[in-house]
Structures are given as C-alpha cells and as structure tokens.
Amino acid sequence: MIHLSGKNRALNEVTVKRVGEKEEDTLIMIHGYGAGLGFFYKNFKPISRIKGLKLYALDILGCGNSSQPAFKIHAKKKEDQARKLEQFTLLGHSLGGYLAVSYAIKYPGRLKKLILASPVGIPSDPYAINASIPEPNTSTIQNEITQDQQSTTDQNAKSQALHDYSFSIFKQKGNSKYTLAYILAPGAYTRRPVIDRIQEVGHQTITKPDRTTVKETGSLASEEKLKETRQKVLENATEDEKKRENGNAKVLLVPKAGHHLYLNNPEVFNDMIRKELEDTQKSKQRKQ
C-alpha cells in the first residue's frame, strides 16, 4: 500500500521487479471503471519480461483495495512523489485512459510514453463515429457471449476467480466511484472530450512524449488532431527545435477483442505493449 497525505488514504499496488537487473524503465498500469489491478493478471508476467523494466499496477482511489476517500485528491502525483519517479510510461484502460490523458496534461514532462487502451471519452459524441464504421459480419454481442463461454469452458477456475474479484469490487460503497458522473454526462457523452484536449499533452516543450492508442475507433480522429497540431507548432519552430521534435502518435488495433482487449486477446496486446516499451528504450539509447 502507498500511504498518501490525509486520513485513511492509501493506494493498493502490485509491483513486478526483475531481480538482479538495473532498473531502466518504469511502466504504470491504470485500470478502468468498475475494475481493479487484478484485471491485468494476464499481462503482468509477459510484459515484465523486458530487461530492466519495473512494473506498477495501481487500484484507483475508490476502487479495488485502495481507500475510499472523497475523490478530489491528486493521488497519481502523490504516488509519483512517494516512489520518486521522474519519467515513466503510463498505460490506462477505459476510464484509466481518460485519467491518464488528464495526468499527462496537468503534469507535463513526466511521461516517456502515453498508452491508451480502449480509452473512454475520446469523441464529444459517442455515436458520431458510427456512420464511418462498417457493419461487422457477426454480432458484437454474439462475439462477446461466445468469448465468455469459451473462457468459462477453457479456464473455469480463473473465470470464477475473476467473477468473485469483480463482485468484491462492485459491492463496495460508492464514494470515489461517483466521479464518473463528473466525467460523463447522461448518454455517455463526455463533459471534457479527449479529442478537444489530447493535443495539449507535452505542450510545455516542442518535444512531446509518444502517444499510442490501442483499439479505439474514435482514436483515429485524435491521431489526426495530434498530427495537425504538431504541424502547426513546427511552422513557427526554430531549426534546432525541429531537429529535437520526436513526438509521435499512432493507433493500433487488437483483433478478436472487445473493450477488455487485454483480457480478450492478451497475446497480441502484450506483444504490442512490449514493442512500445522496447521502442522507447531504443530511442533513449540513440540519444545517449
């Protein structure tokens, strides 16, 4: 547990550290609404195989085994201070992705890379992108049911454990969970859409951290907006600033996966995350 300032305020965490190796990079994983760090159980071991990587997974305040305080607290910043983290890669799923963007904007310069896995709240209108999406060959609901049945049949014990874990989270008192009403308006409309703010990430300097969005159709628009903003910034940049500019944004699609892509197709998801982390390490080595 990471104890924060104030009464009864602590973050639950899981840490995976490679013994006998120098710590070169840090990855922090943030879960989505109604979930907990235990949802990443298929990802911890495969991702932590990267040499020199230290992995943290956190329960958001009000979720999992973290404390249930009033929600107006800068928990992520306090965690950074407690762990003395300078720069790291931040991975957020769903609501965790939305919060990760907000963190990157509020505390610029702390991230090496921002990875958003099926983040909530990207478009201003969640139904605006439907017209550009081709109809699937099979029902999405049918696919989800089929995946659930296969998962239950093949790994009944793990499925039951995840079910029990989820129920233990759902039955907790509300408190910080009510923050969702401050983020999403009725109808799942985002009050502060990511699409209107994503270009602010890394705005403190001409050099921006990498941003990777995994499995979110609305993210294609964010990718374009980032590229447009980068181009506008570089128009007035000096030659030295242009040479130092290495910001990048891209969208990756995880096949045969739904919203919980890290659970539905962990092999592909883990490979993608490892590649992003390895690319960050290589980029750091080239600069040295």
Supply the pTM of this predicted model. Answer: 0.75
Query: Exposed (0-12), middle (13-18) or buried (19+): which is 126, by Cβ within 10 Å?
Result: middle
Asked if residues 108 and 203 have their Cβ atoms less than 8 Å apart, the reply is: yes
Asked if residues 124 and 196 have their Cβ atoms less than 8 Å apart, the reply is: yes
Asked if residues 88 and 110 have their Cβ atoms less than 8 Å apart, the reply is: yes
Rounded distance, CA 24 to CA 22, Å?
Answer: 6
37: DSSP letter: G
Q: What is the pLDDT of residue 263?
A: 94
Residue 270: C-alpha distances to residues 165, 170, 262 (Å)? 22, 27, 7
Residue with tokens 């995880």: 254
Interhelix angle 75-83/95-106, nearest 10 degrees:
70
How far is residue 239 CA from its own chain's centroid?
33
Residue with tokens 């201070």: 81
Sorted by where each starts, the structural domains of the chain and their CATH numbers stand as 2-135+176-287 (3.40.50.1820)
Residue with tokens 């009725």: 186
Q: What is the pLDDT of residue 278?
A: 92
Q: pLDDT tens track of the chain, all 288 residues?
A: 776 666 677 788 999 999 888 888 999 999 998 889 999 999 999 999 999 999 999 998 778 778 776 655 454 554 555 456 778 999 999 889 988 988 888 887 888 999 999 888 776 665 655 555 455 554 444 444 444 445 444 568 888 888 888 888 877 776 656 667 777 777 666 787 777 776 666 544 333 345 555 544 445 555 665 566 566 656 676 666 555 555 667 888 999 998 899 999 999 999 999 999 999 888 777 766
Residue with tokens 């995976």: 16
Tokens for 136, please give them. 């699937």
